[in-house]
Structure 1
């Protein structure tokens, strides 16, 4: 059973939108300082906010990460299973 979430999903999404809007501006502030300031304002840890933003970047394909790798690996494994199944059918036909 997973641990209960400390922050509601609405708060996470709102904080991510706010942080990404600030950091992605031309000549915008750094992610570290922004996360600390926003974290103090909304009552969340700055490191937690930084983790949320980095994961949001990975999910949005703006930064390479585990989410993209997992999808690619799953597709490759699915293709490998199909090939093994095809080979097994061909071997039994011979």
Structure 2
């Protein structure tokens, strides 16, 4: 299974978050999920807010176009990105092998 799929022009991502990182960035794959390092701590929704901001910038969409579908209180999340304008290579990496 891939960490991303397309659904009616929207991109669905399976993400594994690492909060409290030195900076927000894509960090390859973690099992069947895209690992994303997030600068914010995992308290009071700060990591989710930073994730939405980071993904909006990376995919060239507004923050309102990012929706956390599942995993709101978990490191493992499913995210919908409505009609992404950009597709960063580091986000759509293929598993090795």
Common topology (TM > 0.5): no
TM-score normalised by the chain length of structure 1: 0.28
Greater Cα radius of gyration, structure 1 or 2 = 1
TM-score normalised by the chain length of structure 2: 0.27
Where is the strand percentage greater, Structure 1 or Structure 2?
A: 2
